[in-house]
Each structure stands twice: as structure tokens, then as C-alpha cells.
Structure 1
Amino acid sequence: MTDTDPRTRSEAASAAAPAPAPHPATGPVPAGTSTPAYVYDLAAVRSAHARLRSWLPEPSTLYYSLKANPHPAVVSVLHRLGCRAEVSSPGELGAALEAGVPASDILYTGPGKRDEDLAGALAAGVRDFAVDSVHGIGQLDRAAARHGVRVGYLLRVNPGGGSRGAGLRMTGDPSAFGADAEDIRDHPERYTGGEHARIEGLHLYLATNITDEAALGDSLGEAIEVARTLYEAIGRPLRTIDLGGGFGAPYAREGELPAYPGLAARMTGHLDRALPGWRQHAPAVAFESGRYLTATCGQLLTRVLDVKESHGQRVVVLDTGINHLGGMAGLRRVPPLHPDVVGPEGVGPDDADRTTATEPLGPAMLCGPLCTPLDTWARSSPLPAIAPGDLLRVPNTGAYGLHASLVLFLGHPAPLEVVTDGGRVVRSDRLTFVRSAGP
């Protein structure tokens, strides 16, 4: 990780500009789009990036976490805006490289890495990693030795406590993520590395999906204090302090990105007190984001396959379900989903002639096409009168949509993925899965 990367200067220029107005959560539907289809708007990605950069302290680096949406077009535009890539699997590494991200701009993370994963990343030129344990440090050191290279790593930390306002707390309990802060403090010699892999920084990610600015500031402030304590315990210069993120975003419902107008000033004060060399990149400060950068860029389009009455309730069957959105519902991470009515082909939600979209009816059970009763988005959705063939949309699905779902379950085709920019379709493709012979 180089402290003089020119993208740092471009990020600072972006942050100097005032935050733009929020981009609409849903854009126009490309004519003739088959369903199911995810539509990603690159203009919304740029808008979200500008907003987030304007609320981060400078100088700082921003990583894009590919787990939110690894589509190459999305990754590419964020890299051109100055984001480095944070990946945690061979598939995400391949997506970043396909998108044009150089290996020198990739951070390879994850609590468990196979030897072949490390070998593939090293062969591709990746030299920056995050590790979570003493074993992980030794594993990386041995892998780097086999390749005849030297690499740096960020030591991920699991501090005590938690963060209020978090959608999901990442640390403070027994966890695969990170080494316990107390053990690092008491036994720093265990964590500084070997001949081929040496510690270059700390990686903290306390919580995610925090929409309240004060709560987010508390979480990042806690991370800064932990970093200060461990920096002193390690007793050697560190190049990077990665404070993670936690930036919230609406998911699969109407809504705008939260605003954090006072965050940069608050973080600057924390950093000046705890890490006084940070303004001179000693150490450099980094943040990560996935959902904030991409959530509002996406919408999922789906058509009604069937409408019927069952035991006194209206049941609506769609051509998509938990195989394409909401597969993480089994992990209790997804609320009921209530799509909006777009109408028949070519009809918008405000079309005055759309009579079936204005007649109120009782709530509907909203189901997908899978042969399991688990494929249910909502048991009581306030849909108007609709008919087979009608088009619905789920807004704000640019993050944790297709790639967080059960796309292989029951073998339905993956949805189309359409990328637009300024209302123009720039790419349209579909994931396919091919069975190949084993080694």
C-alpha cells in the first residue's frame, strides 16, 4: 500500500466539493428488459461515492468491499473514482482484476484462507492482506516464502464491547473475525510477523449499517482508541490504520442514503489526539464501504406469474424470489420485502390509465417460483390489484442483492444484470454456472 498513490489526491478533491443531492432510489426501466433483472445505475454509484467522500476526514483512503456487489462495471467505476478494492475470496479477486483494478490496489481479507487462495492471490501480484490470527500470520509467511516475495498485512482486531445503533455488530464476542485486542496488547511479539510477512497496520471493523451519525462516530471513535493502544503496544511504525466502516443504507425499500455532515470534523479531532502523524500518512488512515456506495444504484425487476386466492388470502407468485434476493433471510438479516408496482410493459407507476394499480385490496402473500414454502418475501404485502404479466420492482437492491442470495438453489437461471449510465444501457449480461471436472 503506497502512501503517495495519486488517487489519494483525487479523493481529497472529491471530498472538498459539497455533497450532491441524493440520487433517486429508482431510475427508469430500460425498454424491453426481460425479467427477472437487476438494473444498476452508475450515476447513482458516483453520487453515493461523492457523498461519502465529502464526509470522511482527509487525507484518507477508501476501499470498496466487493461483497456488496462484485459486478465488474460497478467495481470499475468505483476504482476510477479512487477506491481500492477489498476482496475476501478467489471469486472477488477475479472480479476486481476483470474490472481493471491492479493487484497493487487490492487488499485480500477474510478470517479463513486456503493455501491455494493465498497462492492464487500472490501469483496475481497481491501483496496486501489482512489476517485474523497467529496461525494466519504463519500461513501467509510460508506462502510468501514459497513465492519468494515479501508481503505486508493488516492485523484484524477483535476488541471488547460493541457499537450502539449497529445493524450488525462485528466484534466484542467470540468471533472468527480478528485477534483479541487484549492478547495483542499483552503479547505483541506473537503478531508482528516473520521473514516474508510483516505487520504493516491494523484492521478494525466494529459494526455495520449504522444510520445515525452520533452512533457511527462513537463506533469509529472506539476503533481509533483501540488502534492507539495497540499501536503503542506493538512499538513499531505502522503504515495503515484501517478503521472499517459501518455506513448505513436502505435495503430493498424506498429511502435515501443517510447523511453524516459532522463526521469528518469529529473524526479529525479523534485522529489528531490518538494518531498525531495521520495527516502525514504516519500512519495512513483508511475506511471501507460496500452498501453505502452501491445500495441505491440497484433495482430488481420482476413479473407476476400468477395471482390466486388460497384459504381466503390473495397469493401473488413472481418470477423471482429468495434465489435472487433475500437468500440471507435464513440468517435473519432480511425484513419482509414489499416491491412497488411498475405496471405492464412500458407503463410507469404514475400512469393515469393504470386502473389495476389503484384499486385497494387486502394484503397479499408474496411468493417466488421455488418449490419450497420458504420462498416467501412477505406474508402481508399491501399490493394493489395486479395481474399476471404486471411488472414490479424492488428498489435499493444494488448491495447484497443477487450475490447474497441462493442463486443455485433449484437451478433457475440467474437474473439478467443490466448496467445503465445516464439512462443509457452500457452493459447487459447474465451469470452462468458450468460443471467442470475436478482436479
Structure 2
Amino acid sequence: MSVAVLKKEDKVIAWIEQWKRERTQPVSAFIYDLKALRERAMDIVQGLPDGCRLFYAIKANPSKVILECLEPIVHGFEAASIGEVRKIREVSEHKPVIFGGPGKKDEEIAEALERRVMLLHAESTHELRRISLLAGRLGVTASVLLRVNLRASFPEATLVMAGRPTQFGIDEEQVPEAIRLALSLPHVQLEGFHLHSISNNLDPQLHAKLISVYWARAKEWQEAYSLSLRYLNAGGGFGISYTDPNRTFDWSVFTTGLRDVLAEQSIPGVELLFEPGRYMAAACGYYAAEVIDLKCNHGKHYAILRGGSHHFRLPGAWQHSHPFEVVPLERWDYPFARPEVRDVEITAAGELCTPKDVLARDVRVARLRIGDVLLFHYAGAYGWTISAHDFLSHAHPEHVFLGRERS
């Protein structure tokens, strides 16, 4: 993979250049393009067929500024902890919230009900019983979806959440028992099913077929148990390719296929819900890290960055070379020659005392100097919040939000 220099008129580049004009410390920042986020979110939401609703999964990026940006556009938010529910309620007291996750504590369930979540995903029969008990103590009825781990095989996605043993959901073979239990509990209203089976899928036609499988299962259970359903939650799972820029999840291809599926299989009165996170937020964010040193060890060239996996853990967690651009900066404050490399493969390593602190490996650069910046793309999701911020106690990066709308 080779890298190129971004255009100077790019507003992200302009912000980095301004940093170097005004400050002496090395560049280290997450930069978010809110205008791009708004436009992408509107395209995604407006492209959905009638009868579909979109909830942003805030685990991808729970920044208050991001939530405020998306709140007027999305139909609601999906939370995976009571902490995330609280963050949503700081932005909106009334926006619909879906609360999921495999390890809900009693206090979380009770507070979620008090904070008027729209739906809870029940991950087990034990959790169903606890939800009913806690709802009864509060004098309310909890609306729940049963999260189901299907027995079908889903081999083509980056992450597989079902079709094999995982900690997520109720085994498909145990669904009859879970339905009967839900119908018998006094403070639970079974509203439908949650079937999130794959993550980071890059094939839109496969994803439309997956929704077809979901509808078929929901219809079987509805007919077998005379259920009055309101929702089928198909989760997220729409993919971002970090290694091949030519591979994209084409939203229009997916929604075209989805319309065909809905025309043939939808259940009257049942809304189809989606919970994308990465697909919505990844492309709006960048991680900028200045090159602090260049060195050659055992024949390999390394660029040492002000930053690393303690800021941006995703590349290490997924074991890929994260795509970046070189931002050349002319400022040089030392009284000696500026080191540089030309037409070599470099490994971009962070400032931590571990050989695993690597963001990209063996990437060819035309020219790279100490003091230039590596600008990593697709850093708007699963970046800062999944990282070990305080390992070695390095200073945190800045978080910059470009394109805020004036109130």
C-alpha cells in the first residue's frame, strides 16, 4: 500500500497546520468532521424504506458532541450500558433508547426503566425474569426484545456474533422456552426479536439476504405462538474496510435489496430497526500523530509517533495496518539537519514501551520527515473510547470538532 499527500485545502489539514504555527508541542489529536457526519447520517436515514427506523449505536463513539450532532437526524440511540443511557439522556430526555448488552446488572435495568428506555434486549431467560421482577417493583411493564443467537452459519463477515457459540443472545433452540416464559411474566411485554448476527459486513447483497432470514424466523415464531409483534431489530453490522479502499458497503445496493425483502416478507405492523455505529461514524473521524523520530532497526524503518495504541487501539485489536496519509509540515526548530526517508516501507509505531504499539506496518512512503504528521482515516468509531488511555501516563490527545452548527 502506498500513501499520498492530502490536498492542502482540506479543512482537517488546515487545522493541523494551524496547530504547528501556534504551538510547540507535537501534534496529537482526534479530529471530527461534523458536517460530513451530518451528511452521511442523513443519507443513511433517508435511504431507508418506509417501515424502518435507525438507532445510532453509541458504543462506536459516545462523545456528547457526536450525539448532539446526530440527535436531530436518527430515530433514536442504542446503549450497551447504563453509562451510555445516561450520556444519551444528557443530550435528550425524550429520544427513544434501546438498551442491550449481555451483562446487565439489576441497578442498570432498574435505572434504564426509570429513564424510560423504549426497549430492553433480553439476553437470557434469567435476565427476562430479573427484568420482570425489577419492573414490577417499579410498577411498570418492560417492553423487551428477545436477542437470539441463530443456528445459521455466517462465514463472510469480519466479526461473527451468532451462528456459533458466543456470549450473545439466546440459543435459537431455546427460543420456544424463552417465548413461553416472556408470555407468562407479569411485568414483561414481548415486543419482538433482536437478531444481530454479523458485524463489519462488506457485502450489501448478503446483508439483504440476512434480513430475509430474520423475517422468516420472526414469522415462524409469531405464527407458532400467536404473538403480537411490533419490532424486528436487525442490529447493525454494515462494514468499513480499513485495508482496501476499493471495498465499500454500498448503502443503495443494500436498501434496494431490502425493499425487495420487505415487499415479499414483512409482517404487517412490525417495524424493522437498525443499530449502526461504525458505519455511521468511522469516516467522519481522523487521528493525527506527529512523527517524533525515524530509525532503522535490523533493516526495517520505523516512524515513532506522538501517540499510538493508547489513543487508537483499533488497528492493534484488529491486527491490520490502518490507512493513513502523510501531512508534510515545514516547521523545523532544531539547529541541525532534519532527518527524512524516501521511497521506503515504514512501520508506524507509538510511544509506548511495548512492541505491540503499532498502528501500521510496512507501508511505502514517498517521503517522510521528523515533524511531519501521519493522519489516520476512519478513526471516528472505536478509537479513543476503546483504548488504554492512561497506560504509561502519557498526555491525552486533543479532541477537535470541526463544522459545529451555531445555535
Q: Shorter-chain TM-score: which interval? A: 0.7 to 0.9
1:90-113 residue CA offsets vs partner (Å, 9 max, x unmatched): 222222122x23355111100111
* Aligned partner (choices 64, 74, 77) of residue 69 of structure 2: 77
Does the residue aligned with 1:383 lie in a helix, a strand or coil?
A: strand
User: C-alpha displacement at 1:385, in angstroms?
Assistant: 3.5
Aligned equivalent of 2:58: 66
* Aligned partner (choices 322, 327, 342) of residue 360 of structure 1: 342
TM-score, normalised to structure 2's length?
0.86
Contact 2:316/2:356, CA 8 A, preserved across alignment: no
Q: How does 1:288-367 map to 2 (within 5 A)?
A: 288-327=275-314, 329-330=316-317, 333-344=318-329, 360-367=342-349
* Aligned partner (choices 97, 104, 110) of residue 89 of structure 2: 97
1:122-171 residue CA offsets vs partner (Å, 9 max, x unmatched): 33333521111101111111221222222211111111113353121110
Mapped partners of 2:96, 2:330: distance in 1:
43
1:231-264 residue CA offsets vs partner (Å, 9 max, x unmatched): 2233221111111232112338756853232433
Mapped partners of 1:383, 1:304: distance in 2:
13
* Aligned partner (choices 212, 223, 229) of residue 214 of structure 2: 223
Aligned equivalent of 2:6: none
Does the residue aligned with 1:37 lie in a helix, a strand or coil?
A: strand
Contact 1:200/1:240, CA 8 A, preserved across alignment: yes
Matched, 1:111 2:98: no
Does the residue aligned with 2:143 lie in a helix, a strand or coil?
A: strand
Structure 2: 5+ residue runs without aligned partners? 1-8, 21-25, 333-337
Aligned equivalent of 1:242: 233
Letter of the 2:326 partner, please give it: V
* Aligned partner (choices 382, 385, 388) of residue 364 of structure 2: 382
Distance 1:384 1:53, change over 3 A: same
Q: Percent identity?
A: 28
Q: How does 1:31-430 map to 2 (within 5 A)?
A: 31-32=18-19, 35-98=27-90, 100-103=91-94, 105-185=96-176, 188-192=179-183, 194-251=185-242, 257-277=248-268, 282-327=269-314, 329-330=316-317, 333-344=318-329, 360-421=342-403
Aligned equivalent of 1:11: none
Distance 1:420 1:118, change over 3 A: same
Distance 1:203 1:48, change over 3 A: same
Distance 1:305 1:123, change over 3 A: same
TM-score, normalised to structure 1's length?
0.80
Letter of the 1:377 partner, please give it: L
Structure 1: 5+ residue runs without aligned partners? 1-23, 348-354, 427-439
Mapped partners of 1:395, 1:193: distance in 2:
50
User: C-alpha displacement at 1:402, in angstroms?
Assistant: 1.2
User: C-alpha displacement at 1:27, in angstroms?
Assistant: 4.2
Letter of the 1:149 partner, please give it: V
When the two chains are superposed, the root-mean-square deviation of aligned CA atoms in Å is: 2.9
User: C-alpha displacement at 1:69, in angstroms?
Assistant: 0.8
Contact 2:243/2:321, CA 8 A, preserved across alignment: no
Letter of the 1:240 partner, please give it: Y
Contact 2:238/2:276, CA 8 A, preserved across alignment: yes
Letter of the 1:342 partner, please give it: V
